[in-house]
Each structure stands twice: as C-alpha cells, then as structure tokens.
Amino acid sequence: MASLYQSDRNKYECSCGAWDSLGLLYFCRHCSVTRCSSCVLVELDCFLCQNCLESAPVTEARLKKNRCFACNFCPFCATVLTKKTCVNSGNTFLSCGVCRWSTRDAGIPDQSKTTTDWPMPENPLSKRLNEISGHFKDLETREKARKEKDTTKRRTNFGGFDASKFSDRFGVQKMIQARKKAIETPASTVESHVATADVPALPDDVFESTAAIQLPLNVINKQPLVEETTLLPVRLPLKGRKAIRCRKCEHHLLKLDYSPNAINYKISAFARNTIPEIRLSRGVELVVGQQSSILLTLLNHSENGMQIILTPDADDSAFEIVTESIDITLSPLDAADVLLGAEESKYSAASSSSSSNIVFQRRNRVGIRLDLCPKVDFKCLPLSLKFKNIHTTAKLETSADWKMVKVRVGLDK
Amino acid sequence: MEQKKDITILPGDPAALVVETSNLSGKIKFSSGCIVHPTASIKATNGPIEFGESNLIEEQVVIENLSEDPLIIGPNNHFEIGCVIHASSVGKNNVFGVRSIVETGAKITDGCSIGPKCLVKPFEKLSPRTVLCGNLNCERRSNDDPPSIASQMDHLRLVIPKYNKIIK
Ligand SMILES: [Zn+2]
Ligand SMILES: [Zn+2]
Ligand SMILES: [Zn+2]
Ligand SMILES: [Zn+2]
C-alpha cells in the first residue's frame, strides 16, 4: 500500500529525460522505452454519460451539444434526478433524492412513461441564432470558393486549354460549376441589430430575490436570472474518455474496453508491469563518514521472471560506494499462490552473486541491503537499475535484452 | 445515574421490532410496526417518549426528551443513522437525514425532510413539507411527502429477527 500512498518518493527516468514515479509511466514494447505523460499522445476515445453510461461518437455528441438527453441533474444541488412514476396517472416526473426538488415544483407537466428524452424548452432566440449561423456558413463557402478559384487558376493555366471540351470524368466540371454558383449567387442577408436608447429598467428587487438561493455554478451559468420557482432541470454533460498512444510508433499504450460498462483495459502498458519497483523498506539514518546501510525492497509486478542488477550511481560524489552491485533474479507473482498460501519453496532464492546483501526473499519480492559511506548529508540516492524481462519487446522470436533505467530513491522522512 | 427502564410495546400487526442491543432508558412506548436498530439510544430522561406506528430508528440515533412534557412522535418517521433529536414534538412522514441535529424544543410538523448534517435550531418550528439541505441549511418547500419506505421496512422485518434478539 505504501507504493500507492507515497508513489512520488521514488522517481524513475523516462526516455525523454523527465523524472516521474513508476505508477505514472508507461512502457512501449514496440520502442522498448519508457514513456511519461509529456511524451505520449492523448486522444479522445469516445464521449459517454457518467450516469447512464451511454456512449456517443464525437459527431453525435457535438449535435447533442455534449449533453445526455436522458439524464438531468437537480438545479439546486446538482444531484442526478431520478424518474418517478405518478401513482394515479402513470406519467413520470423527475425528482431529486437529496433536496426533494421535482419538475412539478417548476411547473413542468408530467411526461408519458415512454419518453426517454426529457423535453427542454426551446430557446426563444433559436430562430435568430440559426439565421445568423446560416449566414456565416454562407459567407464561409463563398470565401472558400473564391480562395480555391485563385489557387487553381495558376495551376491549370495551360495556355488556351479548354477543360470544358473534355468529358467530365473526374467530376471536375461539376466542382467548378458548384464553385461558380457559390460565387455568383448574391450573399444572404440578415437583419442587423439596431442600437436603442430605450432600455427597460431592472426591477428593484433583482439583486435581492435570487441572492438568497445558493445554486450550483453550472446552473447559474445556464439560468442566471431565474426565480426559485422557475428553475429547470439541467442536462448532464458528457464526459470524454481518454486513450493514450506512444508518440513515436503511435501504438496504443492505454485503451479501455469498448463497452463503457466494462472497467477493464483492452491495452495497458503500464511501466509497473515491466520495470521492477523499488521501495525503501525502512527509515534511513545516515551518519557522515560512517558506513551505513540502506534497506530496499525490490518487487516484480510483471508476469515473467526478471533478472536484475542494481548499482549505485558512481558519478555522485555524495557517498562512497561499499556495495558495488547486487545481482538478483525475481520470480513473477502468481495470484493463485497468494490465495492458496502455497509454500515459499516454490520461489526458491535464485542464484545470486551477492547473497550477503539479500535480507529476505519472498514470492515476488526481495529485500536488499545497500552499504555505503556518506561524505555529505544527502537526500536522494541515485541508482542504476538494469533488468532483463521478456516483456520489454514486442518481437516474439528475440530473447530479452538488458534494459536500463535510472532511479532516484528519496531518503528524507 | 442509571434510569429505570419502563418499555411498553403495544401489540399490533406488524409487530414492533425493538432489538435488545439498543440503549433504552426511561418511560418509552412503541406502537406497532416500529423498528429500532442496534446501538440506537432512546432516552426518556425527564419526560416520557411515545412513538406512533411504523417509525424506523436506525443505528447510532439519539432521541432524548429533556423536557418534563411527554414527547409524542407521530407515525411513519424515518430517523437515519446518527441523527440527534431533542425536539419537543414530531409529526408524521418526516425524514431525519444522516447525522442531522434537531435541537431542544424544536417542533417538526409533517412531511419534513431534513438533509444529512443539517441543523434545526432550538425552538424553531418547521412548517409542513419543509426541506432542509446542503451545507448552508438551504430551506425550501416541497409539494410532496418524502417517498414511502414501506418496502424497506418490510425487508427489515424479515432480516432483523434473524440476527438480533427482540424485546418482547
Ligand atoms: Zn517522457
Ligand atoms: Zn445519460
Ligand atoms: Zn436536489
Ligand atoms: Zn512506441
């Protein structure tokens, strides 16, 4: 659990040179390197409603203005509203389980049982807004056509070559005609707004009447000037789901299962499943000028056995190295063994050249002692971690290579 | 000072279920259909307490009568986990949310819903169907009673006797 709670104590070096904790790194098997959050591509997988888990492709989500039509939240407390059925009429209304607000309070008529999309009142300005957006679309096509005409003229100027004499095999003529039409038809016009000095005054109580109600911010955003009695339910915004790719080879490093109901990963290339984890197993007391030991635990979270060589980084002048390097083999963890309590002998301590530095070995973890002599007081122990794991490459026929990752173990309390 | 227990459980169908592991003291009367969970404390310290039909009193609830007048609690109230009630009267169909507090002398009428951790101040009177909610104790009026918990009560009537000793 300590690896969950203090995951930022020990930093691993990413292939891009940044340092991050192991849990936040990925390992691309195709490039055989680590990737961190700043050297991956994040893409939007799909949109989904966090309440009904209905997913929507990007185009549909845009049409729906990124909101779920079936789910609404309470304008008072932002809890998702539940559908209730009226005993007498069989019609449904929405009600909040926390503050007991209901669509009946807002004077919205009950809907029939079969309605899935709760109706929203029409924006009184929607006709005008559509007019304006249509006008801008028209302007856009005209500008585009004119720009295209200018660029293509230069390219197809063959001196007296008349394209219209040939059959329109590739639809070029059609395209040119459409463009011509776009330029020649008169631009649509919309009524522009006229400034007026005749503005109705705000009612005197406008600042007092609504001030007493504490509403969620996204409700104030949508319904800024409403009274308590005229609040409307708010459609639930959709959430985007991320997928992560390697920046270089563009293979997926993280992708969730297609169905939003499923919580498992389809692809997950977490560095934790490839690189051994290092933890400080006990608090460190360092005395300058005296030989001290640092107790570390190495864990193998991968599905394969791993060969590890751990060396303190020599180019650091903060301490004098006593233990040159530690060479160990770590077995993978078999989840069934943990449940069944299988005997430890199965994970017999593999051959090791530096067994005097091994404190304990249990299943997929090994405790080691690193002796060194500090010259000054230092807060961070640099290590070079060499490991050989079959999982580091995507190619099946090749045998595993030695990989190296630099680690900084935080020593302060 | 340990007070004498004087518990009356009125007969009726369905029978009241008061578990032995609840803390009761003083003169208390339960009507039929009431359910008292383990670790709920009901203390008739100065005056007696009378429960109407089908009240649900959950774990860690404290209901105490500090005045000398009897505290009459109407039917179909739901006291959720950890609420503290020092009211002088409680009507029917109320919901007291998780860890809500009703201070001394407050009067709760009918169909009120007091949200989790909300506070009813001393000697405040809540009119029918008042809703308190949120960390600012927002007050509103509902046009409906809180939803019925009859099906939950039916389930508890099946489960509670299996694992608890019931006061007869
Ligand atoms: Zn990186
Ligand atoms: Zn939804
Ligand atoms: Zn609400
Ligand atoms: Zn890659």
β-pairing verdict for B56-57 and B78-79: parallel
Stretch 73-132 of chain B: residues touching chain A, C-beta under 8 Å: 113, 115, 131
Counting Cα atoms < 13 Å in the Cβ hemisphere of A349 gives: 15
pLDDT at position A111? 86
Asked if B143 and A105 come within 8 Å (Cβ–Cβ), the reply is: yes
Report the distance separating Cα A244 and Cα A25, nearest Å.
12
Distances (CA, A) of A3 to A22, A82, A91, A361, A413: 9, 40, 53, 19, 15
Report the distance separating Cα A370 and Cα A362, nearest Å.
18
Residue B113 resides in a domain: yes
Which stretch of DSSP H or E encloses residue A164?
none
- CATH code of residue B74: 2.160.10.10
Residues flanking ion ligand 1, Cβ below 5 Å:
A 14, 16, 18, 36, 39
pLDDT at position B2? 58
B85 vs B139, more confident: B85
Separation of B55 CA from ligand 3 center, angstroms?
25
Token pair recorded at residue B154: 């039916």
Per-residue pLDDT of chain A (413 residues; tens, 9 = 90+): 455 667 788 999 999 999 999 989 999 988 889 999 999 999 988 898 989 888 888 888 888 888 998 899 888 778 899 988 888 888 888 988 888 888 888 888 888 888 778 888 788 888 888 889 888 998 888 888 888 877 766 555 455 555 555 566 777 778 878 777 777 777 777 778 888 888 888 877 766 654 445 666 767 777 766 666 678 888 899 988 889 999 999 999 999 888 877 888 888 889 988 899 998 888 888 888 888 888 999 988 888 888 889 888 866 677 888 888 888 888 887 777 666 665 555 555 454 555 678 888 887 888 988 888 888 888 888 999 999 888 777 777 677 788 899 999 888 76
Residue B118 resides in a domain: yes
CB neighbourhood size of A290 (10 A): 9
Helix A172-184 and helix A126-155, axial crossing angle in degrees, nearest 10:
130
pLDDT at position A156? 52
Chain A partners of B142 at a C-beta cutoff of 8 Å? 100-102, 105
Residue B168 resides in a domain: no
Asked if A100 and B134 come within 8 Å (Cβ–Cβ), the reply is: no
pLDDT at position A228? 60
Q: Which of A83, A98, A100 to mutate to test the interface with B (most CBs of B within 10 A)?
A: A100
Closest partner residue to A98 (CB to CB) among B133, B136, B147 is B133
Report the distance separating Cα A326 and Cα A42, nearest Å.
38
CB of B144 within 8 Å of a chain A CB? The answer is yes
Question: The pTM is what?
Answer: 0.64
A57 vs B22, more confident: B22
Among residues of chain B, what percentage have pLDDT more than 70? 98
Report the distance separating Cα A13 and Cα A349, nearest Å.
29
- Minimum CA–CA partner of A79 in chain B: B134
Nearest to residue A403, comparing CAs of A4, A70, A31, A105?
A: A31
- Say whether pLDDT at B30 is over 80: yes
Distances (CA, A) of B25 to A244, B40, B44, B78: 62, 11, 6, 21
pLDDT at position B91? 95
CB neighbourhood size of A317 (10 A): 9
Separation of A245 CA from ligand 1 center, angstroms?
12
pLDDT at position A211? 46
Residue B81 resides in a domain: yes
Number of domains in chain B: 1
pLDDT at position B158? 94
- Say whether pLDDT at B57 is over 90: yes
Closest partner residue to A214 (CB to CB) among B113, B134, B143 is B134
DSSP A80: B
> What ipTM does this complex have?
0.72
Nearest to residue B45, comparing CAs of B31, B59, B28, B64?
A: B64
pLDDT at position A168? 67
Average pLDDT over residues B75-96: 95
Asked whether A383 and A313 are in contact (CB, 8 A), the reply is yes
CA of A60, closest CA in chain B: separation in Å? Answer: 35
List, in sequence order, every residue forming a beta bridge with B8; answer none if it has no partner. B29
* Domain-wise residue ranges, chain A: 275-410
Which stretch of DSSP H or E encloses residue A340?
helix A335-340
- Tell me yes or no: is domain A275-410 CATH 2.60.40.10: yes
Interacting residues of A99 by C-beta distance below 8 A, sequence separation 6+: A74, A76, A77, A79, B115, B131, B133, B134, B138, B140
